[in-house]
Amino acid sequence: MTTTLYVALGGALGTIARYWVAIGAGRLLGTSFPWGVLIINVSGSLVIGLFAALTWPGTGRFEASLDARAFVMIGICGGFTTFSSFSLQTLDLIRDGRLPLAMLNVVLSVVLCLAAVAAGHYAGTALSQAR
């Protein structure tokens, strides 16, 4: 039951952070393209990759309990990243006849999120080995 509470608290924090980033991105970059969701998904991918590598049992630089890992990786990252929003916004672009922007959103999101999770993982692994 304790782990569930950690996940719930992390999810609340991640959701609040997602709201703030989405609002900020909309104000700074406009709303004609879902920049906020892209930024959220890429940065969330970076964080989960970095944290996973840094706290990996046996090889990570930092020891973290299963509760701490659940708090960050399931709670915060799960509440912060927005794949369902990405999917809906991509569909909206298609329905609005903006197929090139929809495809750009798909390609950028997939490529940048994979690159971010890999970068986070490799940075965490390097930091763990630099003990």
The 10s digit of each residue's pLDDT in 97-112 is: 999 999 999 999 999 9
Cα-based distances in Å from 9 to 65, 66, 72, 78, 93? 16, 15, 10, 11, 33
pLDDT at 124: 94
Confidence band for 130, pLDDT divided at 50, 70 and 90: confident
| pTM to 2 decimal places | 0.85
3-class secondary structure per residue, 66-122: HHHHHHHHHHHHHHHCCHHHHHHHHHHHHHCCCHHHHHHHHHHHHHHHHHHHHHHHH
Place of tokens 């903006």: 98
Residue spans of the domains in the chain: they are 2-129
